[in-house]
Structure formats: structure tokens, C-alpha cells
Amino acid sequence: MVLVGLLAGGCEPSPSGPEAESASPGSTSRASPTATATPGPLPGVTLPPCTWAKVTRVVDGDTVDVDLGGETKRVRYIGMDTPEVYGGVEPFGREASAFNAAIVSGRFVCLEKDVSEVDRYQRLLRYIWLADGRMVNEELLLAGLATVSTYPPDVKYTQSRFLAAQKKARDEQRGMWAP
């Protein structure tokens, strides 16, 4: 069922084996860092100031646990929201979680802070960048597996990236925007 939802969302499941480390949904040529790679952007990629951490667990579509300097921290993605998978599974909740897992599980990601450090649940609030320059928050919106959801003052990419990504997913009828 998750595979069907992923395919309906406009992405492919990631392959298994050694090639899985460089592939991600909807991507055939852009590599992602491996779990054992030295963290940092790929050659030629410029990222905003951010802190590298290894994803140790995908909680759901918009939350992960990371190893940050030997300490486990829970991170909530800023600027978007995915359907729930706990306390009642919402439509596309499993697909959003699977998509998130396919692109970040076991990989190094770069955590960019906006204004706020944590939310009321003490989760770090961050934009999540891949070594290839893609932002995971935006990728979920583009796949139609998230909606823009902002809590000022953390609105850095709302106008410049997130609303356009959501509109593109809606216009292309991806994920939750499919008929």
C-alpha cells in the first residue's frame, strides 16, 4: 500500500543494496550522502549555514531523530506539515513517512535554524538539507505529501520556496492533490 501511495505521489521507492545510498525518490543523477560518508555538501553545492547530523530514526513525515554530536535530538521540519500517522492515520500519512525515510534514513543531513530553537515539545526546529542541495521540507511539498504550515517567526522560505512548491504539486496533481 505504501508503494502504491509513493508511486501515486510522483516518486519511486528507493533501491536496496549499495546503490540505495546514492538514489532517492524522483532522482536518478543526484547523490545523497551515505551513512558512512563524511558529512558535507557535494562538490559544487553551496548550502546555507547549517549543522551536520546523522538521521538515526524517521518518526514520521516531518520529524526525525538525529545524532548531533553524540546526543540524540528530535527535529521537527519547519514551514510544512505532513499528515499524521499516530493517533489515527490520516490519508497520505504513511506515504509521507515512507518518502521521508527514503531520502533521509541513515544519512547525514544539514540542519538549518531559522529564528526559534525548539517548539513547545522541545523538538529542534530546522530546515533539513541534503548534500546535493535539496531541502527535504521542500521535497515533501513538491511530492504533494505536505502542506505549507508556518509559525512565525520561522518563515524564512515560505514566500521564496514553499508556497511555489505546494502550488507546483497541486498543479501537477501529485500526492494529496491527485484527483
Among all residues, which ones are annotated catalytic?
76, 84, 123
Percent of the chain with pLDDT over 90: 75
Check residue 37 and give its pLDDT: 63
In a domain, 2, yes or no: no
In a domain, 59, yes or no: yes
Which range marks the domain in which residue 118 is found?
Answer: 50-177
pLDDT class for 87, splitting at 50, 70, 90?
confident
Cβ proximity of 177 and 147 under 8 Å:
no
Phi/psi of residue 95, nearest 5 degrees: -65, -40
Domains in the chain, number? 1
Q: CATH no. for residue 154?
A: 2.40.50.90
In a domain, 5, yes or no: no
pLDDT class for 161, splitting at 50, 70, 90?
very high
Written as nine digits, the cell of 133 is 542541495
In a domain, 120, yes or no: yes
Q: H helices within the chain, ranges in order?
A: 2-8, 93-104, 136-142, 163-171
Q: What is the pLDDT of residues 108-153, one digit of tens each?
A: 999 999 999 999 999 999 999 999 999 999 999 999 999 999 999 9
C-alpha closest to that of 102 among 68, 79, 136:
136
In a domain, 6, yes or no: no
In a domain, 69, yes or no: yes
Mean pLDDT of all residues in 145-170 = 97
Count CB atoms within 10 A of the CB of residue 125.
19
In a domain, 75, yes or no: yes
In a domain, 24, yes or no: no
Q: What is the pLDDT of residues 54-86, one digit of tens each?
A: 999 999 999 999 999 999 999 999 999 999 999
Question: Model's pTM, two decimal places?
Answer: 0.80
